[in-house]
C-alpha cells in the first residue's frame, strides 16, 4: 500500500446490482453497477486504496433455479460452485464498470477480481442448524418431495412458499489475503470475497474442501478488512442511515455511535438477524479488531458518509 494512504473496504449490498421490482437482467445489473461505483471512484480520486466486496443473493438464486429447471438434462451444480460462478460474473461487471469509471476520471489504475475462498470452521454449530433461505420458492407438496428426494432442509419463508435453507457459518480467514495485500501494494483496485466468498473447510492434512454453505457478505468483508489492515469498512445498503425502531412510529436515524451503543441496541433487538444485524455485527468485529471507523449508508452516499454529512458511522 502507498505510504500514508488510507485503506477502505467497500461492501456493495444486493440492491447495488438488482433493485426491487427489476427482473435482474444483465443490462439492469450493469446500469445499477454504474450508479454504485460513483462514490468508490471518488474515494480513489481522493487518495484511498480500495477493496470492493459484494453480495450475490439474487444471482445465486437464479443460478439455482436454472439448475433445478435443467436437472434432467445436465449435471446439477453444488452451491459452492454457484457461489464461485457468480463471484466471477459479478466481479467482471464491477471490474469493467470500475475500469470505465477510472478512465473517465483519467485515473491510471488496474482493477482486479480475485476469486476468494473463505475458511469456515467445520465444527461451527451452524452446520447443524441451517437457517439461511436460498433459491426458489416451492409449494408444501413440492417441498415434501424435495425433502424425500434430496434431504434438503426446507422452511416456510415470508408466507410466499417453502425454500431450501443452508448453513451460514462464521467466516474465519480469507485464503487469498496475502495476494490481495500484494495487489494493494501495487496500487490496484481489488474486488474480492464476492457473495461472502467461496466457503471452504480445512481437512486434517491441511488441504481445502468446498462446503455447500453460504457466508454472510458483511461478516466476510469484516474479516477481509482486518486481514489487510484496512482503516475503514463501508457497508452500502438500501437506506441512508441505520435506524432504531425501523419502520415504527418512533423510527430514529442514527448518526455517529460507539461500539458500546451498537452492542446495546443489538441486545435490545433493534437490528434483526435477517436485515441490519449482520452489518452491525460486522462493524463491531472490525472495530474491536483494530479498525478505525465503520460506515453504513446508501449506495450513492459513499463520499458523503466519509465526509460526515450522512450515513451511520460506528467508532471504537
Task: Please report the pLDDT score of residue 151 as a whole number.
Answer: 84
Confidence tier at 15 by pLDDT (50, 70, 90):
low
User: Which residues form the catalytic set?
Assistant: 14-15, 132, 217, 279
Give the separation between CA 272 and CA 256, rounded to whole angstroms.
20
Give the number of other Cβ atoms within 10 Å of residue 194's Cβ. Answer: 29
Give the separation between CA 212 and CA 79, rounded to whole angstroms.
5
Compute the Cα dihedral for 21, 26, 31, 33 and give only its sign. positive
* Mean pLDDT within 30-58: 92
Task: Please report the pLDDT score of residue 259 as a whole number.
Answer: 97
Output the nine-digit C-alpha cell for 104. 473517465
pLDDT digit string, tens, across residues 157-215:
767 788 888 899 999 999 999 999 999 999 999 999 999 999 999 999 999 999 999 99
As to burial, measured by CB atoms within 10 angstroms (0-12 exposed, 13-18 middle, 19+ buried), residue 73 is exposed
Output the nine-digit C-alpha cell for 223. 474479516
Give the separation between CA 20 and CA 142, rounded to whole angstroms.
27
Identify the DSSP state of 128: G
Q: Please enumerate in sequence order all residues whose Cβ is within 8 A of that of 190, keeping only pairs 6 or more positions apart, or say none.
A: 50, 51, 52, 111, 112, 113, 114, 180, 183, 184
Give the separation between CA 199 and CA 116, rounded to whole angstroms.
9
Confidence tier at 3 by pLDDT (50, 70, 90):
low
pLDDT digit string, tens, across residues 227-262:
999 999 999 988 899 999 887 888 899 999 999 999
Give the separation between CA 290 and CA 98, rounded to whole angstroms.
29
* Mean pLDDT within 9-23: 83
| Mean pLDDT score across all residues of the chain | 91
Angle at 217 between CA 25 and CA 285, to 5 degrees: 155
Per the listing, cell 439448475 goes with 67
Give the separation between CA 129 and CA 123, rounded to whole angstroms.
12
Complete domains list, the chain, with CATH: 7-119+188-315 (3.40.1160.10)
Confidence tier at 222 by pLDDT (50, 70, 90):
very high
Task: Please report the pLDDT score of residue 158 as a whole number.
Answer: 66
Q: Which range, of 13-17, 64-68, 286-290, averages the lowest pLDDT?
A: 13-17
Q: Up-side HSE of residue 36: CA atoms within 13 Å toward CB?
A: 32
64 and 134 Cβ atoms separated by less than 8 Å = yes
Give the separation between CA 225 and CA 77, rounded to whole angstroms.
30
> Does 24 score more than 90 pLDDT?
no
Q: Please enumerate in sequence order all residues whose Cβ is within 8 A of that of 129, keeping only pairs 6 or more positions apart, or say none.
A: 167
Q: In what order do the strands lie in the sheet with 162-166?
A: 132-138, 162-166, 153-156
Amino acid at each position: 500500500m502507498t505510504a500514508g494512504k488510507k485503506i477502505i473496504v467497500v461492501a456493495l449490498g444486493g440492491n447495488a446490482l438488482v433493485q426491487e421490482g427489476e427482473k435482474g437482467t444483465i443490462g439492469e445489473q450493469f446500469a445499477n453497477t454504474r450508479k454504485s461505483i460513483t462514490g468508490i471512484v471518488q474515494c480513489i480520486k481522493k487518495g484511498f486504496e480500495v477493496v470492493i466486496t459484494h453480495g450475490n443473493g439474487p444471482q445465486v438464486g437464479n443460478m439455482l433455479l436454472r439448475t433445478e429447471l435443467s436437472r434432467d438434462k445436465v449435471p446439477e451444480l453444488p452451491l459452492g460452485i454457484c457461489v464461485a460462478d457468480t463471484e466471477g460474473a459479478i466481479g467482471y461487471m464491477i471490474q469493467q464498470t470500475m475500469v470505465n469509471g477510472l478512465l473517465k476520471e483519467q485515473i491510471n489504475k488496474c482493477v482486479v477480481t480475485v476469486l476468494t475462498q473463505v475458511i469456515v470452521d467445520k465444527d461451527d454449530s451452524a452446520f447443524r442448524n441451517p437457517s439461511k433461505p436460498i433459491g426458489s420458492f416451492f409449494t408444501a407438496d413440492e417441498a415434501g418431495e424435495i425433502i424425500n428426494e434430496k434431504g434438503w432442509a426446507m422452511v416456510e419463508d415470508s408466507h410466499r412458499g417453502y425454500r431450501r435453507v443452508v448453513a451460514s457459518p462464521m467466516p474465519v480467514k480469507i485464503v487469498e489475503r496475502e495476494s490481495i495485500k500484494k495487489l494493494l501494494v501495487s496500487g490496484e483496485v481489488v474486488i474480492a470475497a464476492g457473495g461472502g466468498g467461496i466457503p471452504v473447510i480445512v481437512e486434517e492434512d491441511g488441504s481445502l474442501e468446498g462446503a455447500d454453505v453460504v457466508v454472510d457478505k458483511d461478516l466476510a468483508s469484516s474479516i477481509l478488512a482486518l486481514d489487510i489492515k484496512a482503516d475503514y469498512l463501508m457497508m452500502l445498503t438500501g437506506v441512508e442511515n441505520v435506524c432504531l425502531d425501523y419502520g415504527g412510529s418512533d423510527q430514529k436515524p442514527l448518526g455517529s455511535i460507539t461500539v458500546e451503543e451498537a452492542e446495546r441496541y443489538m441486545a435490545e433487538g433493534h437490528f434483526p438477524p435477517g436485515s441490519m444485524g449482520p452489518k452491525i455485527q460486522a462493524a463491531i468485529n472490525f472495530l474491536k479488531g483494530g479498525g478505525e471507523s465503520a460506515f453504513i449508508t446508501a449506495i450513492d452516499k459513499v463520499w458523503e458518509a466519509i465526509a460526515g454529512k450522512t450515513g451511520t458511522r460506528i467508532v471504537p
